[in-house]
Chains A and B, each alone.
Chain A
């Protein structure tokens, strides 16, 4: 009856981890909205929000509260079920993708139990992320279609085709990494980087391609065509108001957070501290886990900053430019990168 016996400790452990990660995602997303406004202001020689609390740090709470109390409008001609499903899907897919990321080095209890700081170390790790990100398209599609509005539908179609076409070079850039690790498991990807050095050193081109595609997947500027404010009246979430709109916007920030985490994990060594062997410091397990977690967070925050920085620098691409860049530039580059990596790997292993 082994199959029926349930390890309650495991469930508790995972439940705490899940709650922690979801809470963290929300917290980071909240403060990314604040950081977005602050960084935008700084890059434009302004000061940014500074009224709510010291340095305006309660601004996200005020924004969230405002969204909750706004009037909620569901258009009469919309499909109500799908209209509500849209933002829910966007949010769920954004949150689910964080399951396979190893957030810190495993925590070793005094009894010798190893608690991985990862909700699920599934064998197909990174592939799962791709699958979930692909489902994320439905959030946009369903929302745009259910609004029964031409602009929303147009934007949703744009968004869907954009995400589908940028998944290709993203996946190809990643295949080159998988050649080096030989595993799809996120924990193995990290541990191979701890041993052999970060992937970004071997795969700079692959990283750039991955990064550009991540921008496109998160619908961030310069690829924010699905929600192009001045062409499509906010795109697929035009008919949304109140917290449903908030969910769409929030899901975008969580997506940013998760894709930053994936980039840090896949290319920048995850929770690894560069140039040092932290295992030799002889720290207590708690501090080891804490430090490795902080290191990952620093990397993530750096990527988040770059996301914001890019948004307030580069204007939006035209749609044909977007497609040209995706299909005619990034895919060939990713293919070349893949072939070269394969050839070098073969040559080295001979």
Chain B
């Protein structure tokens, strides 16, 4: 049965003397390898050069703040529900009087943890969030010596303050996160 017309008949003729010395074929092979010497290398020298991520790259999570620097998250738990890997845990707390400059709404996340070893970076939390509070950034979780280091607390995830730490905030923004209108 013939599936494709690409099959080639194997040549089973006994080798001629020249072939059995292998010399000519070796010279041909060496021509092929030497041509690779002058080819452009595909490798990227990682720490010095970084490859640009695609526009839709999903990396480490960022907890967003609004333009005044207040946390967007209201600890509604939709992201934790949406998460297929069950990587997100949170505890809600009520905003007290005098904390209006810290939290945008009257409920906020007192504890917010993402286990980066569980996370599959699918981005469903980002889609589920009604408050534009969680985004996936263009960085990825750096290596760590212990498992505990991969459980990112709220402080690790929060984006820098847009007024107090303007530069760091803009860097973290990276043209990706939409500032809350």
Contacts and interface: CB of A to CB of B under 8 A. Distances in A.
Interface of A: 42-47, 50, 208, 309-310, 312-314, 324-325, 329
Nearest to B44: A47
Contact of B21 (A42, A46, A312, A329): A329
User: Which secondary structure dominates chain B's binding surface?
Assistant: helix
A223 to B, nearest CB: 12
A45 B38 CA distance: 9
15 contacts: A42-B37, A43-B33, A45-B39, A45-B41, A45-B42, A47-B41, A310-B26, A312-B33, A313-B29, A313-B30, A314-B26, A314-B29, A325-B22, A329-B20, A329-B21
The 4 tightest CB contacts between A and B, nearest first, are A313-B33, A43-B33, A313-B30, A47-B43
A313 B21 contact: no
B30 to A, nearest CB: 5
Interface of B: 20-23, 26, 29-30, 32-34, 36-37, 39, 41-43, 45
A309 B34 contact: yes
A47 B34 contact: no
Contacts of B22: 325
A239 to B, nearest CB: 33
A123 to B, nearest CB: 35
B148 to A, nearest CB: 30
A208 B23 contact: yes
Given A314-B26, A329-B20, A329-B21, A46 B41 contact: yes
A312 B32 CA distance: 11
A309 B34 CA distance: 8
B37 A43 contact: yes
A208 B21 CA distance: 11
A180 B39 CA distance: 43
Given A208-B23, A329-B20, A44 B29 contact: no
Given A208-B23, A329-B20, A329-B21, A43 B36 contact: yes
Contacts of A324: 20
A310 B30 CA distance: 7
Contacts of B37: 42-43
B121 to A, nearest CB: 29
A42 B39 CA distance: 8
B109 to A, nearest CB: 42
A313 B36 CA distance: 11
A312 B34 CA distance: 10
Given A45-B41, A309-B34, A313-B30, 10 more contacts: A43-B36, A45-B36, A45-B42, A46-B43, A309-B30, A310-B26, A312-B33, A313-B29, A314-B26, A314-B29
Given A310-B30, A313-B26, A313-B30, A44 B45 contact: no
A220 to B, nearest CB: 13
Contacts of B43: 46-47
Contacts of B21: 325, 329
A323 to B, nearest CB: 13
Contacts of A42: 36-37
A193 B42 CA distance: 46
A59 to B, nearest CB: 16
A314 B34 CA distance: 12
Contacts of B39: 45
B3 to A, nearest CB: 29
Which residue of A43, A208, A324 has the most chain B CB atoms within 10 A of its CB atom? A43
Nearest to A46: B43
Nearest to A324: B20
Contacts of B34: 43, 309
A200 to B, nearest CB: 16
Nearest to B30: A313
Contacts of A313: 26, 29-30, 32-33
Contacts of A46: 41, 43
Given A50-B45, A329-B20, A329-B21, A44 B36 contact: yes
Contacts of B23: 208
A47 B45 contact: yes
A89 B114 CA distance: 61
A46 B29 CA distance: 18
